[in-house]
A = this chain, B = another copy of it.
Amino acid sequence: MDDADALFKALADPTRRALLDALSERDGQTLFELCARMATAHGLTSSRQAISQHLDVLETAGLVTRRREGRYTFHDLDTAPLAPLRERWHHPDERTPR
C-alpha cells in the first residue's frame, strides 16, 4: 500500500475525520480526551478501542504522531501528508467551467 492509498483510506472514515478535526483544534490530546470529545462535541459513541484503532490508521497514514510520556500518550496532528492532495485534480485555470 503506497502513501497515497494509506492517506485516502485514512480519510475515508467519518470518525477518523472527526478525530483530525478534534486534533486540529488542540494538539497533544490523550486517547481518553479524544474519546470524551468524540462523544460530546461530535456526537459519536465509539469505544476506546475503536478510537485507538482509528488512531493507528491515522498514524500509519502519517497524519497523527504519538509521543509517550509516563502513562499518557499524546497525539499530534501532522498535516504534511495532505499537501500533495491540494495540488492533485486542482487546476481551475486549466478548466474554466463554462
Contacts and interface: CB of A to CB of B under 8 A. Distances in A.
Contacts of A97: 78, 80
B79 A24 contact: no
A21 B14 CA distance: 25
Number of copies: 2
A86 B86 contact: yes
B86 A79 contact: no
A79 B85 CA distance: 12
A12 B11 contact: yes
A5 interface: yes
Contacts of A4: 14, 17
A35 to B, nearest CB: 20
Interface in A55-98: 77-80, 82, 85-86, 89-92, 95, 97
